[in-house]
């Protein structure tokens, strides 16, 4: 199973050969059985040859990349699956984009995370591996040609498995377009987290050497994520149970909390429009939002609860929803507690004679839950129609990637 290959949330990561032996049984499960598309008639589905561990979307060109891994004998191998998810031409119907595979690229080791960098139509494709190296590909292709990745460079510096990547895409709190972000242009500042207990900052525009390194976690770092508003801030979570916030201009964390009862922070995300909101999932199976101004749970606190460890989560682009998945095979879309609280606070502060525009309300977000045939390793949102509708993508260990028809935002 995936948690054996990446380190069980319950027992900790097996070392060396033990980790590989723990996944021998998982590799035997790689059958050629087709994905059951009839079970989810509203979904658009593609199949992968290996187990998908990560997922990234490049909206300007509707590109999707899936990072996959498998074990062959005693060796981890990987594969990048490149696909497109063009928005549907139907603006009124909530239909997911149609996924279509463009190309498959083999990788020398298991892939732990994938990202796109840059804002051009030929973005840089990044993939982190079990070998502690970040491989970079420069993509090429015209309007009518498929994206073609060509090896560009490799980033060395971590001493263990790289657990996650995060590329800065915000334009800064003041709203300047293409604002400088932490030593690199917007879209080229890369953060990486690792089992070596460190977080590194890379400037993809200038150097293949890490710009800065932080080592405030007492155990492996599971996830790092740029703040979408503050161009110098980012958040991280790790096996030691810590959720930390950082500033690239400082050496130590700017704040944080530790989960109780020895639970692990398995994954995190930052709110797309609120600089003080951080979302995290735990090995307890709980998804929570935190107000980092006071380091207390946001109003309501718990977003949703799963039966087992949370594997992935993501805010929706409007910040009003949270998509999360867990080892119990559940996939849930829930209302954001912090977004609901901020909206209610804003309404309560409005004067009685305010305009109808100010008093306009939005429909309440209704929680939606489904059970998958295996657990989802990653979730992302992608544009599903030209009028701004979004659909949820998930990569699942039944070796499928789905654009969900029942999880859409009009």
Per-residue pLDDT of 345-361, as tens digits, reads 554 454 444 544 444 44
**pLDDT digit string (tens) for 105-139?**
999 899 999 999 987 778 899 999 999 999 999 98
Q: Which residue has the higher pLDDT, 380 or 13?
A: 380
Contact 220, 257 (CB under 8 A): no
User: pLDDT digits over 276-290, tens only?
Assistant: 999 999 999 999 999
Tell me the mean pLDDT in the region 233-242: 96
Question: How many CA within 13 A on the CB side of residue 323?
Answer: 25
Average pLDDT of the segment spanning 179-201: 78
Residues of the chain with pLDDT > 90, as a percent, come to: 58
Residue 179: is its pLDDT beyond 90?
no
Q: What is the mean pLDDT of residues 171-199?
A: 65
- pLDDT of 2 above 50: no
Position 310 pLDDT exceeds 80:
yes
Residues with Cβ within 8 Å of 335's Cβ and at least 6 positions away in sequence, in order, are: 303, 320, 321, 322, 364, 365, 366, 367
Residue 41 binned pLDDT confidence (cut-offs 50, 70, 90): low
**Mean pLDDT taken over the chain:** 81
307: left (phi over 0), alpha (psi -120 to 50) or beta: alpha
**Inter-residue contact 181 to 151 (CB < 8 Å):** no
User: Which of the two residues, 67 and 19, has the higher pLDDT score?
Assistant: 67
Give the model's confidence band at 6: pLDDT under 50 very low, under 70 low, under 90 confident, else very high: very low
- pLDDT higher than 80, residue 233: yes
More reliable by pLDDT, 140 or 116: 116
Strands (E), 123-194: 124-129, 134-140, 148-155, 162-167, 189-194
Across the range 298-323, mean pLDDT stands at: 91
pLDDT for 394 beyond 50 = yes
173-187, 188-202, 241-255, range with the lowest pLDDT: 173-187
């Amino acid at each position: 199973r995936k948690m054996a290959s990446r380190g069980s949330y319950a027992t900790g990561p097996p070392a060396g050969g033990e980790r590989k032996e723990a996944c021998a049984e998982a590799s035997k499960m790689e059958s050629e059985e087709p994905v059951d598309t009839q079970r989810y008639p509203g979904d658009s589905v593609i199949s992968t040859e290996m187990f998908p561990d990560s997922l990234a979307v490049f909206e300007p060109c509707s590109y999707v990349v899936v990072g996959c891994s498998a074990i062959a004998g005693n060796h981890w191998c990987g594969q990048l699956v490149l696909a497109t998810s063009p928005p549907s031409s139907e603006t009124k119907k909530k239909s997911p984009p149609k996924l279509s595979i463009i190309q498959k690229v083999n990788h020398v080791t298991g892939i732990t995370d994938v990202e796109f960098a840059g804002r051009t139509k030929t973005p840089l494709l990044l993939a982190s591996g079990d070998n502690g190296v970040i491989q970079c590909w420069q993509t090429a292709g015209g309007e009518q040609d498929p994206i073609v990745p060509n090896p560009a460079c490799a980033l060395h510096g971590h001493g263990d498995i790289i657990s996650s990547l995060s590329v800065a895409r915000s334009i800064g709190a003041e709203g300047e377009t293409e604002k400088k972000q932490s030593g690199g242009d917007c879209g080229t500042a890369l953060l990486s987290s690792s089992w070596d207990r460190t977080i590194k900052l890379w400037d993809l525009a200038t150097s293949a050497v890490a710009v800065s390194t932080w080592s405030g976690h007492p155990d492996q770092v599971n996830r790092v994520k740029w703040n979408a508003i503050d161009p110098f801030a980012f958040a991280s979570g790790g096996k030691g149970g810590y959720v930390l916030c950082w500033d690239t201009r400082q050496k130590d964390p700017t704040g944080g909390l530790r989960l109780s009862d020895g639970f692990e922070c398995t994954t995190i995300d930052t709110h797309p429009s609120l600089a003080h909101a951080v979302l995290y999932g735990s090995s307890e199976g709980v998804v929570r939002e935190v107000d980092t101004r006071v380091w207390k749970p946001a109003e309501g606190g718990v977003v949703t609860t799963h039966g087992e460890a949370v594997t992935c989560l993501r805010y929706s682009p409007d910040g009003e929803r949270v998509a999360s998945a867990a080892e119990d095979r559940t996939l849930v879309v829930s209302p954001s507690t912090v977004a609901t609280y901020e909206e209610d606070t804003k309404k309560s502060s409005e004067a009685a004679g305010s305009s109808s525009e100010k008093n306009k309300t939005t429909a309440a977000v209704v929680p939606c839950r489904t059970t998958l045939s295996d657990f989802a390793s990653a979730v992302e949102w992608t544009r599903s129609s030209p009028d701004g509708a979004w659909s949820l993508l998930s990569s699942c260990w039944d070796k499928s990637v789905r654009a969900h028809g029942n999880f859409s935002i009009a």
